[in-house]
Amino acid sequence: MMKKVLVSVFLSIVLFFNILDANELKLKQVLIFSRHNVRYPVAVAGNLQRYTQKPWPTLSGRKGALTPKGARLEGYMGEYFAEWFNDNEFLNAGCPDDDEVYVYTNTASRTKATARAFLDSAFKNCSVPVHHKNIDGRDPLFAPLVHNSTQAYRDMVMEEIKRKVSNNEKLKKVLLELNDILNVEESDVCKEDGICDLTEPKNSLTYEVGKKLWVHGPLMIANYVMDFFVMSYYNGLPIKDIAWGNIRSKEKWKEMTELGRQDHDIKYRTVAEDIGAPLMNYLRETFHNYDNKPKLILLVGHDYNLNSITTNMGFQPIDLPKQFEKFPIGGKLVFQRWTDDENDFLKVEYVYPSWSQLRCGKKYSRTAPPQKVVMKLNWCSDKTGLCPWNEFISNNALISLELLKKKMKTESGLFYRLSFYCQYNDVWTSNAHHWGPLPHCFLGILDLK
């Protein structure tokens, strides 16, 4: 008995000092990947009219653009983070130096406007610049474009998507509900295109290298419709005007927003490693050279980017409390580098507004902050949420080229991951597509000194 007591006391002391050490860590660097905030629906009422005979409410704004409410909510998030930075003595008082903060966004107006709203509130009167490519169309870093040109990969993706769509009871439940809400049988899309039941397997897949993976048919219709419903809810439309009053309770919203989760799994998780490779390369380079990077990096993109990052890095799946979306609008994946002056540690948190906070639009405070959960990596030896930094950057998901070359000689299992690494790095030659990229890439790596 005495032995058990001594062991218990010893473990309590160890736990106490671990907690004490964790509390004494200093925040060294932060990288935030944010989804844009509340926007207008991506499909306007005129286009949606084909899916039902019922009149759609009109939202006065450019499709897909950040709404005034979205800008206001993002400003609240900026103030919240400014307070967190101040609590941890992360940045000097006043405006940050030019080399302390770097912000980069996709080319979409909603991502640029989200970053601007965040910065104007986090660093008032400081004019911190927002960087982005000055191009028409999407930035390849953020765009969910297909890269793999091999027939074998294409066939695998097609088969996997078909499997995920068929016999999907969660998806079918939502589609049946949408059939009733829209009364699809009376719609133009039924009369003209023969889509009279959204549960029928009439989806078609477009897989084209350099373009987005598209699933046309009932799944696309359902996504456009639910996007309109959800954004109408976030933007504050009366409940009676959303889905013609057919989605009122939280239980019903939870049931209907399952569509988004299933859609992410079907379209983006299937090809996460392929479409997410450019962004993973950016993160890999950033984390491996973090000592030479700004203290704060803010990237603003989309929910499918967050899906790729969390999938490719091996984060444990989570259900976010007080939210129905998998990657809520305005949510942020916050990579934090902490130090005790001898060793560095990684902590990752997902900071996001709750379902009701998005609806109500109230300012965050210490008593009513945004939601926050610790994200844990499947492969990290530490299960408390503080991963040793060296273990983090030496993992296969973030491995550098030099380490990869060394591991190649002893770990044959890396060849699969190496095939993806090859396709999105400079060792992929312009002639690679004649043979498939892999042989040229392997030769390029072996030739590197």
172 with 242, same domain? yes
Segment 272-278 shows an average pLDDT of 91
Nearest Cα to 52, choosing from 191, 172, 247? 191
The structure tokens 């060294």 sit at 28
176 with 227, same domain? yes
List C-alpha distances in Å: 121 to 101, 213, 298, 320, 351.
14, 36, 14, 26, 17
The structure tokens 């390849």 sit at 140
Which residues, listed in sequence order, are joined to residue 338 by a DSSP beta bridge? Answer: 27, 345
158 with 262, same domain? yes
Query: Helix, strand, or coil here: 234?
Result: helix
313 with 239, same domain? no
- Split at pLDDT 50, 70, 90, the class of 4 is very low
Nearest Cα to 286, choosing from 101, 97, 31, 106? 31
Q: Domain limits at 218?
A: 151-273
Catalytic residue among 265, 274, 303, 344: 303
Evaluate whether residue 389 is within a structural domain.
yes
384 with 306, same domain? yes
Query: Residue 17 — φ and ψ, nearest 5°?
Result: -70, -30
pLDDT at residue number 9: 41
- The three-state DSSP-derived secondary structure of 354-376 is CHHHHHHCCCCCCCCCCEEEEEC
Evaluate whether residue 13 is within a structural domain.
no
pLDDT at residue number 18: 47
pLDDT at residue number 388: 97
Q: Looking at the predicted structure, is the pLDDT value of residue 428 above 70?
A: no
pLDDT at residue number 400: 53
Query: Residue 165 — φ and ψ, nearest 5°?
Result: -80, -40
- Split at pLDDT 50, 70, 90, the class of 58 is confident
Question: Where would I find the H helices in 351-400?
Answer: 355-360, 389-393
Structure-model confidence comparison of residues 257 and 399, the more confident one:
257
Q: CB–CB of 52/183 below 8 Å?
A: yes
Q: CB–CB of 387/363 below 8 Å?
A: no
Evaluate whether residue 285 is within a structural domain.
no
The tens digit of pLDDT for each residue in 144-163 reads 999 999 999 999 999 999 99
Structure-model confidence comparison of residues 429 and 26, the more confident one:
26
| Least confident span in 4-18, 67-81, 273-287 | 4-18
Q: Looking at the predicted structure, is the pLDDT value of residue 59 above 70?
A: yes
Evaluate whether residue 385 is within a structural domain.
yes
pLDDT at residue number 167: 84
- Split at pLDDT 50, 70, 90, the class of 68 is very high
pLDDT at residue number 45: 80
Structure-model confidence comparison of residues 446 and 81, the more confident one:
81
Would residue 132 show up in a list of annotated catalytic residues for this protein?
Answer: no
Evaluate whether residue 304 is within a structural domain.
yes
The tens digit of pLDDT for each residue in 229-252 reads 999 999 999 999 999 999 999 999
pLDDT at residue number 12: 41
Q: Give the percent of the chain with pLDDT over 90.
A: 73
Query: Residue 45 — φ and ψ, nearest 5°?
Result: -60, -35
Q: CB–CB of 303/352 below 8 Å?
A: no
Structure-model confidence comparison of residues 99 and 412, the more confident one:
99
DSSP secondary-structure letter at 57? P
136 with 158, same domain? no
pLDDT at residue number 101: 98
Segment 171-186 shows an average pLDDT of 97
Which residues, listed in sequence order, are joined to residue 300 by a DSSP beta bridge? Answer: 34, 105
189 with 105, same domain? no
The tens digit of pLDDT for each residue in 184-193 reads 999 999 999 9
Evaluate whether residue 435 is within a structural domain.
yes
pLDDT at residue number 137: 86
List C-alpha distances in Å: 226 to 42, 165, 222.
11, 17, 6
Q: Give the percent of the chain with pLDDT over 70.
A: 84
pLDDT at residue number 67: 98
374 with 428, same domain? no
Segment 101-106 shows an average pLDDT of 98
pLDDT at residue number 436: 37
The tens digit of pLDDT for each residue in 384-406 reads 899 999 999 988 777 655 555 55
Name the domain count of the chain: 3
pLDDT at residue number 414: 54
Q: Could you tell me the CATH number of the domain that includes residue 378?
A: 3.40.50.1240
| Least confident span in 12-16, 139-143, 362-366 | 12-16
Which of 239, 273, 307 terminates a domain? The answer is 273
312 with 240, same domain? no
On average, the pLDDT of the chain sits at 87
pLDDT at residue number 407: 58
268 with 174, same domain? yes
Catalytic residue among 36, 147, 264, 288: 36
Evaluate whether residue 287 is within a structural domain.
no
pLDDT at residue number 13: 38
Which of 258, 273, 288 terminates a domain? The answer is 273
Would residue 264 show up in a list of annotated catalytic residues for this protein?
Answer: no
Q: Looking at the predicted structure, is the pLDDT value of residue 415 above 90?
A: no
Evaluate whether residue 211 is within a structural domain.
yes
Which of 393, 408, 439 terminates a domain? The answer is 393
